[in-house]
Structure 1
Amino acid sequence: MNYAFAQEQNINQFPPWHLQGEGFILNYWLTPSFIQQAKAFRVAPSALGRVVQVLLIRYQSSPVGPYDELLILDHPLISKRRLSSIPKIYVSTHESVAHGQALWGIPKEYAEFEWEEHHQDTICRISHQGHQMSLSIRKTRSPRQFYINSHHIPASMLKIQQAWEGQRFDFSPQFRGYLSKVSQVEWHNTGDIFPDFSKAKYLQSFYIPKFNLIFPEAQISSK
């Protein structure tokens, strides 16, 4: 880490970061045509299609305080020999934007988040540069939960690589928590700020009522 640069950017919370919160893991199969239409969001090209995840998160505790987050976690096919990446992400505080870019090369952009809760339904409205989209998610009524721990997942699937301002950032987050199933997801008015995942194939998705996440220091090198 270039500490002079960090001081210039007002970066004062260094990794590892320990975060806690709740969130949703939304799984989608993307066809080649969908990926082509989403190329403005830097989703990696694929002739076969593949699975990606959309994460909608409310961090209740982090080194820079509570904040909200919407991101795409892109998982290119192993045959392409590419690591996972975060090509598009919005967060609700400028502190998170600055730290995410400088420490992990994550292309965070600022947006405003507004939440509504109605029994099993969660509605999130995200506003960015004068445009507002919304996402409605319905949890199942079943209380059944499944424990998940990053130690149970192959290490290759946890590795994330980001390219940012001429540098490459490599890191592997660790997490643990409990999952319950999501029964329905609806996207509205995504416009130019996010892909319209209502046109992708929805796969079983999950709600995480509480999780613990560790973001380690990234290995930084020149591209």
Structure 2
Amino acid sequence: MTASILEYAKIEHFPPWHLHGDAFILNYWISPTFIQQAQAFRLAPSSLGRVVQVLLIRYHDSPVGPYDELLIMDHPLFSKKRLSSIPKIYVSTETSVVHGQYLWGIPKELAQFEWQQHQQELVCTIQFQQQKMQIHLKKTRSTRSFYINSHHIPASMLQIRQAWQGKRYQFSPQFRGRISKLASVQWENTQAIFPDFSQARLLQSFYVPTFNLVFPPATIKDK
């Protein structure tokens, strides 16, 4: 059996996927120097710099069960030739890795996630192979939240294009939920696991206490 046939045999849950959970949306302005220093993570080049998002997600319910996820959502808005992409992503379960790679061309890698919370502060430790990094997140004391819906966001930002094993995948997730402002974010010991976003400019970022997300089938074409 070929590798693709073996992968297909592991696929049990086909899209659309309906997922629920909570998340952190970390918005950063990255400079050309930052992009150059993080070139191992395949961020799209930019001579001006731009905004990217780091998403830290806890899926409480999905077709493949609960799992955790850390990813970069790269929005090269200054280039008309590129759509958004996910150049780096870790998840906490093998079944999420397999389904994400095969169904959407998302380059998921398996990592361990550990969460610690004390009042408004939360620490997520991510271990990949023999390396560990931490993200320290502090929520505001305010309970005020705002409704958000993907229909309110420009469609171009939601169109994701991935390249994986000789194929191109394109899809547009849809979501809705509530968001509240995040007070602070700190990165510790990113090593070679993830770009050091402590060297980027943190913009207003958010905690999402609850969301509903739909991942539709991808349009898949040969390169």
1:152 maps to a residue whose letter is H
TM-score, length basis structure 2? 0.96
Kept in 2, the 8 Å contact 1:21–1:61? The answer is: yes
1:95 maps to a residue whose letter is T
Kept in 2, the 8 Å contact 1:9–1:98? The answer is: no
Gaps of 5+ in 2: none
**Which contiguous aligned blocks of 4+ residues in structure 1 show a shift greater than 6 angstroms?**
none
Cα drift, residue 84 of structure 1? 0.1
TM-score, length basis structure 1? 0.96
Cα drift, residue 7 of structure 1? 6.0
CA RMSD of aligned residues (A): 1.1
Provide, for residues 91-115 of structure 1, a one-character-per-residue CA deviation record: whole Å limited to 9, x for no partner: 0000000000000000000000000
Cα distance change on mapping 1:190 and 1:9 into 2, 3 Å: farther
Q: Number of paired residues?
A: 220
2:82 partner SS: coil
| Other-structure match for 1:50 | 50
Cα drift, residue 78 of structure 1? 3.8
Cα distance change on mapping 1:36 and 1:66 into 2, 3 Å: same
Alignment of 1:7-156 (within 5 A): 8-156=8-156
How far, CA to CA, are the matches of 2:38 and 2:168 in structure 1? 23
Cα drift, residue 79 of structure 1? 3.3
Larger displacement relative to structure 2 (109-118 or 77-86): 77-86
Kept in 1, the 8 Å contact 2:175–2:212? The answer is: yes
1:100 partner SS: helix
| Other-structure match for 1:161 | 161
1:108 maps to a residue whose letter is K
1:111 maps to a residue whose letter is A
Kept in 1, the 8 Å contact 2:7–2:102? The answer is: no
Gaps of 5+ in 1: none
Provide, for residues 134-163 of structure 1, a one-character-per-residue CA deviation record: whole Å limited to 9, x for no partner: 000000011111100001112111100000
Cα drift, residue 77 of structure 1? 2.1
Provide, for residues 48-76 of structure 1, a one-character-per-residue CA deviation record: whole Å limited to 9, x for no partner: 10000000000000000000000000000
How far, CA to CA, are the matches of 2:212 and 2:128 in structure 1? 28
| Other-structure match for 1:194 | 194
| Other-structure match for 1:173 | 173
1:17 maps to a residue whose letter is W
Cα drift, residue 81 of structure 1? 2.4
2:31 maps to a residue whose letter is T
Kept in 2, the 8 Å contact 1:76–1:84? The answer is: yes
How far, CA to CA, are the matches of 1:99 and 1:130 in structure 2? 25
Kept in 1, the 8 Å contact 2:8–2:102? The answer is: no
How far, CA to CA, are the matches of 1:6 and 1:141 in structure 2? 49
How far, CA to CA, are the matches of 2:201 and 2:187 in structure 1? 13
| Other-structure match for 2:219 | 219
Cα drift, residue 8 of structure 1? 4.1
1:216 maps to a residue whose letter is P
Cα distance change on mapping 1:103 and 1:113 into 2, 3 Å: same
Provide the identity percentage.
Answer: 67
2:61 maps to a residue whose letter is S
How far, CA to CA, are the matches of 2:159 and 2:29 in structure 1? 20
